[in-house]
A = this chain, B = another copy of it.
Amino acid sequence: MANAKSSKRRPAVAIGNHALDLDIFSSSNGFSRLPFIQPHLAVFSQPVLNDFAALGQNVHGQVRRYIQQLFSRDTLWPELLKDNLELQDRCLLPLQEVENHLPMHIGDYTDFYAGRNHAYNVGALFRGPENALQPNYTHLPVGYHGRASSVVISGTPIRRPCGQILHDPAANPKKPSLTACKKLDIELELGAFVCKASKMGDPVSIGNAKESLFGVVLLNDWSARDIQAWEYVPLGPFTAKNFGTTISPWIVLTDALEPFLVQSMENSTELLPYLQEKQKNNVYNIELEVDLINSSGVSTTVTRTTSRNLLFSFPQMLTHHSIAGCPIQIGDLLGSGTISGAEDGSQGSLLEQCANGKTKIRLNGGEERIFLEDGDTVTITGVAGSMDVDMVGFGECTGTVLPAHEL
């Protein structure tokens, strides 16, 4: 993050309504009671968290618990922060005065398709319910390489894309035109950042995959359905997906999410051993919500679901990703695939909610939507746990649709 006082990009931790500026905190001896981190304090003055991630999950957990301890009512070291108003003034910044930046340098971004209900719903729309899931779907986490340069931080406006669109699929010969996208959609996803590299040729075993994951963000994989329909055969989505992917700014450490692990969706296919996890609880139970706010500011919750609606876990995705030898790097981002529940109002894309245009969503205030309109803002929020136990909140993942450029 950065702020008005200093445009230097530096790491921070969100605590309640404040950001703890780790650069200032660390250089003001904030970590003096955590001896083993002393040789590594430089990680807290980097513009991105890659070097901190590289220290490993054990360190992430200890740093997290150390900061929790400093903020607890009966902290052992009140002199460090609780009773040090001068330091508090310098290192605790009101969240609304903070400008967020991408928290990691993302070497590569890969988007999976592990939301089984989404894959089923979309498959059923285009191929009917019998052939909804492709034969490989339950055997491996289907995924494709995404565009790292197009991953942007929450709040970045999204320009409605233009592209080749086939308006009359029945015409012969087929005549696409260059048009502004008319089927601009969202995809509700989680993203996971990698904290451990692997060498080319050496797959990450399923036993080692979990410790390779740094933390989780909310992710909106903006999608142009009409561009996608024409371009994606045979090599997959391309310009329909590379115009912007939004993530929430605060990475929630996997360490903090451990209490919220639950079983993934049931898979009738017995997985090959390389994908079998010892731990039954392998996906997060994060309550997710998608709000659509129209240009007049009227907000409607269009989706309520949970991230347990995944057929594969992030460790399984990472292991499969590297099974042929793909080198994994610290800062790589994995998208989960669209998360949809089975009921109405729980689907993570408008394509599903409106059955590709057959039905409409009624918004509060009377407007209707099939796909997104210019000026619409989409905000994803996520919470794990409830008020009475340790609740973990995610930062907002939001973006507003700008009108397409004139053609």
Contact = CB atoms under 8 A, between A and B. Distances in A.
Nearest to A105: B107
A328 interface: yes
Chain B CB within 10 Å, residue with most, of A146, A156, A237, A327:
A327
Interface stretch (A21-29, A69-77, A174-182): A174-182
Contacts of A272: 164, 176-178
A201 B144 contact: no
B174 A244 contact: no
Interface in A97-121: 107-108, 113
Interface residues of A, number: 66
B332 A135 contact: no
A152 interface: yes
A240 interface: yes
A15 interface: no
B176 A136 contact: yes
A37 B240 CA distance: 41
Contact of A134 (B163, B201, B234, B240): B234
A257 interface: no
Contacts of A233: 134, 136
A323 B162 contact: yes
Interface string A132-176: 001110011011111111101000101101111010000000101
Interface in A313-328: 320-321, 323-328
Nearest to A268: B173
Chain B CB within 10 Å, residue with most, of A230, A240, A323:
A323
A91 to B, nearest CB: 32
A241 B181 CA distance: 30
A3 interface: no
A396 interface: no
A224 interface: yes
A324 B235 contact: no
B238 A150 contact: no
Given A145-B147, A148-B148, A164-B139, A326 B108 contact: no
Contact of A236 (B144, B149, B242, B405): B144
A214 interface: no
Contacts of A274: 178
Contacts of A164: 136, 139-140, 272, 323
A216 interface: no
A51 interface: no
A113 B325 contact: no
Contacts of A181: 324
A361 interface: no
A206 to B, nearest CB: 12
B231 A140 contact: yes
A402 interface: yes
17 contacts: A107-B149, A113-B235, A136-B164, A136-B166, A136-B176, A136-B230, A140-B176, A140-B231, A144-B235, A149-B200, A149-B327, A149-B332, A159-B325, A235-B237, A236-B236, A239-B326, A240-B324
Given A181-B324, A200-B243, 13 more contacts: A134-B234, A144-B144, A148-B148, A159-B201, A164-B272, A164-B323, A178-B272, A178-B273, A178-B323, A200-B244, A235-B236, A236-B236, A242-B321
Closest 10 CB pairs of A and B: A236-B236, A161-B324, A159-B201, A243-B325, A242-B326, A144-B235, A239-B324, A145-B145, A243-B324, A235-B236
